[in-house]
Amino acid sequence: MSQPKKVDRRKFIYAGLGAVALVAIGAATYLVLSPQLAGPKKLTLMMFNSPETDWIKSMAEEYQKRTGVEISFDVISRETYWDKLDTTLLSKGSEVDLVTMHAPMLGDYAKSGAVQSLSSYIDNKTLFPYDKEGYIRTALDATKYKNEIYGLPLWFSTEFLYYRKDLIKDESALKTWDGYLETAKRFTKTYNPSSPTEYGATMFGKKHIEQVMEWYPFYWSFGGRFPKFNSKESVEATQFYVDLFLKHKVVPPDADTYVWEHTFNAFKFGKVALSINWDANYLANWHETYGENLGITTTPAKSTTTNPAAYLLTWVIAVNAFSKMKEEAFKFAAWLTADPDAVTKVARMGLPVPSNYILNDAQLMQEKPHWKLMVDYVSKYGFAEPATPGWLKVRNILMTHLADAMVGAVSPQDALDAAQKEVDEALRE
Amino acid sequence: MIGTVVIFPSALSLWLSLHAITRANFFSNPPFVGLDNYIKVLTDQFFIDSLRISMYWVALTTMLELSFGLMLALLMNQNVPWKGAFTVLLLTPMVISPVATSYMFSMLFNNLFGPLPILLKNIFGVEVSFIGDPSLAFYTLVLLDVWQWTPFMFLLIYTGIRSLPNEPLEAAMVDGASSWQILSKIKLPLLKPIIAVALIFRMMDSFKTFDIIYVLTGGGPGRVTETVSVYIYRTFSRGDVGLMLALSTILLMVIPLLSRFYMKYLYGVKR
Amino acid sequence: MALKGEVFMNRKFGLKEIGYTILLVIIVLLSNFPILWTFKISIEPVDLIFKEPLRVIFSPTIQGYRVVLGEFSLFFFNSIAVALLSTLLSIIIGFPAAYSIARFNTGGENLSFWILSLKFIPPVAFLIPMYIWISSIGLLDNILGLVLVHLILNLPLTIWFLRSYIEEIPIENEEAAMVDGCSRAQAMFHITLPLTSSAIVATAVLAFITSWNEYLSALVLTYTRAKTWPVALAQFIGLFRVSYNELAAAAMIGMIPSIALAIIMRKHLVRGMTLGILK
């Protein structure tokens, strides 16, 4: 047993330190909390990590300079964003004022009263001194639930087929899925040892919403139509999709763990020659890396006589119905998406706001050639998810069963049959 | 003093009462469906699968960690120098955040850019997908868990060894017993209580494992690594809040009961 | 470097011992390899990470650390605050609780088992109730809210540990003191407390590390003000410049407090673990 005196002193030191720490932390916490009571108005915007976040952040800085309203960003990692969105909006909390999400998701949140109806705000000239017609009509329609607008269109996205122009001289080979497969094989070292790249293509293989979104163009171009997922065409599309990984192995062997960043890096560092990926990748560095050698085209079609499919995803910015600063929040969102100057500015940085100001800006369209392509493809071959409530769950169901099919645990037919059953139930609710 | 013990259970019961209310489905105005959710959960094949996977996970990780921990402890107990330094260095995996661990390992195992697969390919010409291959992914995660928690077992057992009374050991040596006999007939039996406790601790934590599994594989590929924790999270992600709450209630009530019996048994063994 | 109670066998330092030492070295290297690799990535220029994954010799850069520390120092501070507070509170609450269970057998066997069995439950299970509860008392995105939750996660272990330790301490000391006129509480503070200092330190270190590394609750309960380090770390995934070096830097920084604690407290850790386990 150690001498009591010595131990006592040490105990005192620890206790003393502990008390000091307690007091210090208590004070610090208080300080951190109290500015919200007084001081400049502060909005909180929750987004996920993506190139678009940085662009919007700089716009927020400018907004602060103009109006004094500070906007703080809660940036969540891409994978966990959707869950966090749920808890935040579900809980009727007021920590977050603005959120971003996909247009089809608005239905669910609008139905449960978690997001604020914005129609009345838009009609209010003090809150919305802009031209409503600035928005592209279809984009604005996608934000409606029961005829009320629940979000402002923030940006629209599609998936392109990117390819290495320096390696693939003839784009016509990529017009059909079979051609895509052939090309991918040509660039996979196991088929062609002299290939300059390791593998042919990337896939969003991890069990995640983004896999479902990658799968959509396959599904639609083969003839699948919402909300029927176990049709013959859909099964065929899914079989082709999973075979890329399971049978033909033209993608890296751990592609079933890939999320966006893996596909991004794989293409950027020359490990693959093809990548079906988001439009934002162009500006967020792929163009910088490859310049003229970056090829963009639509995702392939089933055959030379059928059309390819261009998946249109509209992002919206919505106001938390329980926010304590709804009008301020709305003002920022409105400025960002409807003020001609703001829109052009953020577009110049790289954000494709669904606004006519951008479409009509010839110079802008020239600077961002991929947008011209995007508008072109979407108007010719575009399809989007319906804005029905319950769609959130549908995506989730698809995600679960696709993941099973992806690793060969079940056949595409079985996976889709099971999915269809659950989807029907979900949509009935 | 006794009062302080009461704060904590009351917090817990607050939760219990809270979630018993929202037993039914979805966002703000849930319809009441009574025990429907419980039935759905208990008959869900995915849930049963996840139970099976969890059991397997717990068994495998704890057994491996126990074995390795024991071997390490015995090794450290030998006449080797710098024990203090070695001990600390061995403890490092334990103190790292599981999230950081997952990302570290996902980098290490990445087939395109990670050193391990690349080395394997260059040296053996074999392309192995540690996380992507459904038959391997589970074991890779087990490896990760073992890497992270063997130090814990090692620490517990090692401290136990050091506090073993000397007399039996010396007596045995005087009697001419071989070191193997000393080990098996004297040391191990004396260590039984510690091993039992270490096992309990580790089994509890192992069952709860969530971070590394979710971050690295998300329960996949497919569902091979979907343990109960991951399953619960997925239920929540899907928006089936009612189901998830039913699950929580089941766990919160059933587990204390089960573990009571389990621990009584283990403690009986020990005494 | 001898710890108390070490059995010294014959001091011959022969082949067997050298073999064991080498084995230990190999094991230490293997088990620390991922950490060393992460360190390498944290100082490597980003492009090299992907272009030449196996390369070990290059001119290092601290760019990663600069970015991470610049933007994210608040989260580091948050983590420290949460971990410290929850550890301190769990000791302050846990010690008297453990004492009362050990000495008075409060709640009987049932309470003890119930407390321990709480450790079995995956935190995922009470995600939503916890969120609703914390939200209703207005402690979302607040250090104190997170401390509360971590307390609930840490207390079972703390109480259990300390209880076993206290039970080992002969009650005579306290009884003697009380005969001399001390109240129970005084006896507890002046006699039992000093004797359990090692166990307290060991428990505190474990609690701190657990709280520091905790991810799930922090993810759900915090937004911008109280976000902690592991959550911030997860954010680095998906950055379009996919800065693995920043991620690695963040991981390394995250390790520092835990490793530092382990080093400083190692003597207490071992001593404290010993008796705390035996019961």
Q: A346, A134 in Cβ contact below 8 A? A: no
CA-to-CA distance for C190 and C217, rounded, in angstroms? 37
Selected for mutation to probe chain B from C89, C109, C126 (highest B CB count within 10 Å) is C126
Site of tokens 């139509």: A225
B244 contacts in C (CB within 8 Å)?
A: 127-128
pLDDT at res. A3: 40
B109 contacts in A (CB within 8 Å)?
A: 254
- pTM for this model (two decimals): 0.83
Residues in chain B: 271
Hey, is B2 helix, strand or coil?
A: helix
Helix, strand, coil fractions of chain B, as percent rounded to 5? 75, 0, 25
Q: B60, B145 in Cβ contact below 8 A? A: no
| Helix residue ranges, H only, chain C | 15-42, 46-51, 63-104, 108-117, 127-136, 143-168, 172-179, 184-187, 193-195, 197-213, 216-221, 229-235, 244-264, 266-278
- Listing DSSP states for B162-216 in one string gives HTS-HHHHHHHHHTT--HHHIIIIIIHHHHHHHHHHHHHHHHHHHHH--HHHHHH
Side chain identity, residue C210: T
CA dihedral sign of residues C179, C182, C185, C189: negative
Quick: pLDDT tens for C3-57: 443 444 445 567 778 888 888 889 999 889 888 888 888 888 877 777 777 777 7
| Candidate from A253-262, B10-19, C77-86 with smallest mean pLDDT | B10-19
Report yes or no: C193 at the A interface, CB cutoff 8 Å: yes
Quick: pLDDT tens for C125-153: 777 767 777 777 777 777 888 888 888 77
- Select from A90, A253, A404 the Cβ nearest to the Cβ of B222: A404
**Residue among A398, A374, A345 at smallest CA distance from A60:** A345
Selected for mutation to probe chain B from A90, A189, A256 (highest B CB count within 10 Å) is A256
Q: A121, A127 in Cβ contact below 8 A? A: yes
Report yes or no: B118 at the C interface, CB cutoff 8 Å: yes
pLDDT at res. B172: 74
pLDDT at res. C273: 59
Q: Are the beta carbons of A400 and B234 separated by less than 8 Å? A: yes
B233 contacts in C (CB within 8 Å)?
A: 124, 127
From its phi and psi, is residue B176 left (phi > 0), alpha (psi between -120 and 50) or beta? left
Rg of chain C taking only CA atoms, in angstroms:
23
Q: Is the peptide bond before B221 cis (omega within 30 degrees of 0)?
A: yes
User: Chain C residue closest to A87 (CA)?
Assistant: C220
Q: Are the beta carbons of C97 and B259 separated by less than 8 Å? A: no
Q: Are the beta carbons of B158 and C270 separated by less than 8 Å? A: yes
A4 contacts in C (CB within 8 Å)?
A: 194
C80-to-B27, B95, C147, C224 alpha-carbon distances in Å: 35, 15, 11, 16
**Residue among A367, C56, C135, A29 at smallest CA distance from B14:** C135
pLDDT at res. B2: 46
Residues B198-232: b if buried by 16+ CB within 10 A, e if exposed = bbbbbbbbbbbbbbbbbbbbbbbbbbbbbbbbbbb
pLDDT at res. C267: 67
- Listing DSSP states for C138-195 in one string gives T-TTSHHHHHHHHHHHHHHHHHHHHHHHHHHS-THHHHHHHHTT--HHHHIIIIIHHH
Report yes or no: B246 at the C interface, CB cutoff 8 Å: no
pLDDT at res. C102: 74
C84 contacts in A (CB within 8 Å)?
A: 21, 25
Residues C133-152: b if buried by 16+ CB within 10 A, e if exposed = bbbeeebbbbbbbbbbbbbb
Report yes or no: A171 at the C interface, CB cutoff 8 Å: no
User: Highest mean pLDDT: which of A103-117, A168-182, C243-257, C258-272?
Assistant: A168-182
B217 contacts in A (CB within 8 Å)?
A: 206, 257
Q: C34, B91 in Cβ contact below 8 A? A: no
**Residue among A46, A43, A41 at smallest CA distance from A317:** A46
User: Chain C residue closest to B204 (CA)?
Assistant: C120
Q: Are the beta carbons of A112 and B26 separated by less than 8 Å? A: yes
ipTM of the complex, rounded to two decimals: 0.78
A50 contacts in C (CB within 8 Å)?
A: 238, 240
pLDDT at res. C230: 82
Tokens describing residue B156: 């517990």
Q: Which residues lie below 8 Å from residue B219, measured CB to CB, with a gap of 6+?
A: A207, B213, B225, B226, B227, B230, B231, B234
**Range C146-168 average pLDDT:** 79
pLDDT at res. C275: 54
Report yes or no: B159 at the C interface, CB cutoff 8 Å: yes
β-partners of residue A201 are A274
pLDDT at res. A245: 93
Q: Are the beta carbons of A78 and C238 separated by less than 8 Å? A: yes
Q: A160, A299 in Cβ contact below 8 A? A: yes
pLDDT-derived band at B23 (thresholds 50, 70, 90) equals very low
pLDDT at res. B263: 64
CA-to-CA distance for B88 and C51, rounded, in angstroms? 35
CA-to-CA distance for B56 and B51, rounded, in angstroms? 9
pLDDT at res. B110: 86
Side chain identity, residue B223: R
Q: Are the beta carbons of B7 and C93 separated by less than 8 Å? A: yes
Q: Which residues lie below 8 Å from residue B65, measured CB to CB, with a gap of 6+?
A: B145, B146, B149, B150, B152, B153, B202
Selected for mutation to probe chain A from C95, C224, C265 (highest A CB count within 10 Å) is C224
CA dihedral sign of residues A282, A286, A290, A296: negative
Q: A76, C225 in Cβ contact below 8 A? A: no
Quick: pLDDT tens for B157-216: 887 777 777 777 777 777 776 766 666 777 777 777 778 778 877 888 888 888 888 878
Q: Is the peptide bond before A227 cis (omega within 30 degrees of 0)?
A: yes
Q: What percent of chain B has pLDDT over 70?
A: 76
Quick: pLDDT tens for B88-146: 888 888 888 888 888 788 888 888 888 888 888 888 877 888 888 888 889 999 999 99
Side chain identity, residue A66: R
CA-to-CA distance for A159 and A374, rounded, in angstroms? 9
Hey, is A102 helix, strand or coil?
A: strand
CA A120 to mean position of chain CA atoms: 28
Kindly give the interhelix angle for C266-278 and C197-213, rounded to the nearest 10 degrees.
100
Q: Torsions phi, psi of C227, nearest 5?
A: -60, 140
β-partners of residue A277 are A160
Quick: pLDDT tens for A79-113: 788 888 887 887 777 888 999 999 888 888 888 78
Window 2-41 of C: residues touching A by CB (8 A cutoff) are: none
Q: What is the DSSP letter of B33?
A: -
Q: What is the DSSP letter of B96?
A: S
Selected for mutation to probe chain C from A76, A198, A265, A281 (highest C CB count within 10 Å) is A76
pLDDT at res. A37: 42
CA-to-CA distance for C182 and C202, rounded, in angstroms? 28
Quick: pLDDT tens for B40-57: 778 888 888 888 999 999
What dihedral do alpha carbons A243, A245, A248, A249 form, nearest 10°?
180
Side chain identity, residue A115: V
Low-confidence ranges of chain A (pLDDT < 70): 1-40, 429
pLDDT at res. B233: 85
pLDDT-derived band at B10 (thresholds 50, 70, 90) equals low
B151 contacts in C (CB within 8 Å)?
A: 31
C111 contacts in B (CB within 8 Å)?
A: 5
Quick one: which H or E segment has residue A347? helix A340-349
Judge whether residue B20 has pLDDT over 90. no
User: Chain A residue closest to C91 (CA)?
Assistant: A18
- Select from C38, C93, C255 the Cβ nearest to the Cβ of B4: C93
User: Chain A residue closest to B111 (CA)?
Assistant: A254
pLDDT at res. C8: 46
Selected for mutation to probe chain A from B26, B110, B111, B232 (highest A CB count within 10 Å) is B111
CA-to-CA distance for A83 and C114, rounded, in angstroms? 31
**CB-based burial label for A288 (10 Å; 0-12, 13-18, 19+):** exposed
Mean pLDDT of chain C: 75
pLDDT at res. A11: 54
Judge whether residue B271 has pLDDT over 80. no
pLDDT at res. A365: 83
pLDDT at res. A235: 94
